[in-house]
Homo-oligomer: A and B are copies of this chain.
């Protein structure tokens, strides 16, 4: 276990943590960055970013139905993501289609193209494999980690 304790200290070259609760904040931020980096480098061969991939995944959840921009935004992990701009990039690559909303003219309805579906398919294979090696935990440990994270955010 000692090796583990040393790892964050190595990564941010500091061991001046006031207490475990202080350390946990830095540890979560670092781990999130570590995950994003690895995902991004895996997605590079598809010309996708982490966020673009996330939007494609969300669209796939409703496929072949369309989704409006607001519904996509509500499912994003980072709530301040600027979905219209991410959708712009996906549109330029013809991975999604846009259409004016029929029931509500203010909405822009987004859906995956065949090209988008295909790229998502191959990208998902890669990401799933990565996630497997990246999360070196048992289901039991993962469950405990999830519970601790939820408890941490209790005062929300």
Interface residues of A (CB under 8 A from B): 1, 4-5, 7-8, 11-14, 16, 19-37, 61, 74-80, 131-137, 139, 141-156
> Do B36 and A29 have beta carbons less than 8 Å apart?
yes
> Do B152 and A137 have beta carbons less than 8 Å apart?
yes
Q: How far is the CA of A132 from the CA of B32 in the complex (A)?
A: 21
> Do A61 and B146 have beta carbons less than 8 Å apart?
no
Given A14-B61, A16-B61, A131-B22: A77 and B29 interface contact (C-beta under 8 Å): yes
5 CB < 8 A contacts A-B: A4-B147, A5-B146, A24-B142, A28-B149, A144-B144
> Do B26 and A77 have beta carbons less than 8 Å apart?
yes
> Do B135 and A34 have beta carbons less than 8 Å apart?
no
Q: How far is the CA of A134 from the CA of B29 in the complex (A)?
A: 14
User: In the complex, what residue of chain B is closest to A7 when comparing beta carbons?
Assistant: B150
Oligomer: number of copies: 2
Given A28-B149, A152-B145: A33 and B78 interface contact (C-beta under 8 Å): yes
Tell which of B20, B133, B139, B149 touches A19, judged by Cβ atoms closer than 8 Å.
B139
> Do A135 and B147 have beta carbons less than 8 Å apart?
no
Tell which of B4, B7, B25, B37 touches A135, judged by Cβ atoms closer than 8 Å.
B25
Tell which of B12, B139, B149, B155 touches A145, judged by Cβ atoms closer than 8 Å.
B149
Q: How far is the CA of A21 from the CA of B138 in the complex (A)?
A: 8
Q: How far is the CA of A5 from the CA of B61 in the complex (A)?
A: 21
